[in-house]
Amino acid sequence: MSLLDVRNLTVTYAGGVAAVRGVDLRLEAGHKLGLAGESGCGKSTLALALLRLLPAGARITGEVLLDGEDVLAMKWGRVRAVRWAGASVVFQGAMHSLNAVHRIGDQIAEPILLHKKATAAGAKRKTGELLEQVGLPAARADAYPHELSGGQRQRVMIAMALACDPRLIIADEPTTALDVMIQAQILRLIEQLVADQDLGLIMISHDLAVLADTCDRLAVMYAGRVVEEGPAAQVYEDARHPYARALSAAFPRIGDPASRFAPQGLAGDPPDPAALPSGCTFHPRCPVALESCPEEDPLLRTAGPERRAACVLVGPPADVPRGAREEPEPLEEARPGTP
């Protein structure tokens, strides 16, 4: 059984905003999956949907099996427990996620007291251990967020995410606000923790190069769909979907000085998810679109060993046509998620 098995996940916000459309993903313990794509392609919505953290009114269908248990079918009490002990999220911008008026030690201890039912002394001890695990002295527990640097605050966020010994970490742009040196340190820390504790990692970033460097597999999203998925190095170096190729070409290559000065961009803007183009949603921007692409909505198909891409140029579809699946009743999030 996979640690995480996402099946046909669809999220629609109020106003018909189709933010995530029929996503299938799998992740095993000890593995790292990178989720890439332009701003607005649905990466964060997908991450939030995994733990039912979406705002009220969002409609979700599909299955999110975490260790075989469907998060979308759980009662709220179970969802809250799973948010810390099953999977937890490291958000971008630690300054906004930490409470400015509480010492960081108290903030790390809170979920341990609440979800692990630890004693005050036990929670304090665990907090010190967590701080040391993320490379901070245990004594920093007494500090307030403003007394720490950006990198230290992001380490605190990681310590918080690990507080209840989760099996899966979802890191949403964990290093975006940090300078390159600190970014590299935080990425290495995350990699080391994942390896040491046999965790699963989903890392979200618009930066394909960072994901290719950190993750085993990459999934590239466009307009709410995964359009390419496969081993990280292969997707980065030799993408099969024209969008994934364009995204990859937008990053300079180490050892190729020319690419540093002339990374290629992609013309046009991502589509409005409330008014998606017909057929393949990428066709208005696609440099190799066929005449049939405005009519044909391509499913993911086999693009090599352990590789899939959603483009008619890749070959015939490998999957069950989505329309042939049984569509379950949508889950309408009734209230904002509280930890």
Ligand X SMILES: Nc1ncnc2c1ncn2[C@@H]1O[C@H](COP(=O)(O)OP(=O)(O)OP(=O)(O)O)[C@@H](O)[C@H]1O
Among 2, 7, 8, 17, binds ligand X (CB under 6 A): 17
- Scan residues 216-275 and list those touching ligand X (CB under 6 A): 273
Is residue 276 close enough to count as binding ligand X by CB under 6 A?
Answer: no
Q: What single string gives the DSSP state of each residue in 80-111?
A: HHHHHHTEEEE-S-HHHHS-TTS-HHHHHHHH
CB of 266 to ligand X, least distance (A): 15
For ligand X, give the closer residue by CB, 17 or 177: 17
Is residue 336 close enough to count as binding ligand X by CB under 6 A?
Answer: no
CB of 39 to ligand X, least distance (A): 3
Exposed / middle / buried, residue 330 (Cβ in 10 Å: 0-12, 13-18, 19+): middle
- Are 58 and 13 a contacting pair, CB within 8 Å? yes
* Identity of the residue numbered 294: P
- Scan residues 120-149 and list those touching ligand X (CB under 6 A): none
Among 34, 37, 111, 174, binds ligand X (CB under 6 A): 37
Contacts of 23 by beta carbon, 8 Å cutoff, 6+ apart: 6, 8, 9, 10, 46, 62, 221, 224, 225, 226
Is residue 10 close enough to count as binding ligand X by CB under 6 A?
Answer: no
Q: Tell me phi and psi for residue 305, to 5 degrees.
A: -60, 125
The piece of 35-43, 104-112, 242-250, 319-327 that touches ligand X (CB under 6 A) is 35-43
CB of 211 to ligand X, least distance (A): 13
- Scan residues 194-213 and list those touching ligand X (CB under 6 A): 206
Tell me the sheet residues that pair with 301: 309
Owner of token pair 């939030």 = 48
* 229 vs 314: CA distance, rounded Å: 13
Among 34, 42, 174, 242, binds ligand X (CB under 6 A): 42
The residues that touch ligand X, with contacts defined as CB under 6 A, are: 13, 17, 19, 37, 39-45, 55, 206, 273
